[in-house]
Amino acid sequence: MDKTPEEQIKLLQQDLEALKGEVYRNNFSSSQDFNKFIRFNARMKIPHYDAVPIVGEVGELIEVGGILLICSSANSFSVV
């Protein structure tokens, strides 16, 4: 037997509340890939150093003497 529109709405509202509960409790994991070209129109400020620092975090970008360097492993910089 088909449900009335009111019954269908009530069931949908219950499902929505259950989903909200899952999201807010962070009880699931998910990922989604978007295959699109994205362009960021923003400036990135790269700090200038006179010499390569002794300490660096992985992914950190710096500029030394006009050369762009990245910290590729803990405390180790290489040319980009």
Of the two residues 30 and 80, the one the predictor is more confident about is 80
For the chain, the structural domain boundaries read 1-30, 41-80
pLDDT of residue 25: 67
Over residues 31-59, the mean pLDDT reads 84
Which span out of 10-14, 18-22, 42-46 was modeled with the highest average pLDDT?
Answer: 10-14
Within 10 angstroms of residue 62's Cβ, the number of other Cβ atoms is 18
- Whether 46 contacts 59, CB under 8 Å: no
The percentage of the chain sitting over the pLDDT mark of 70, rounded to a whole number, equals 86
| CA 69 to chain CA mean position, Å | 23
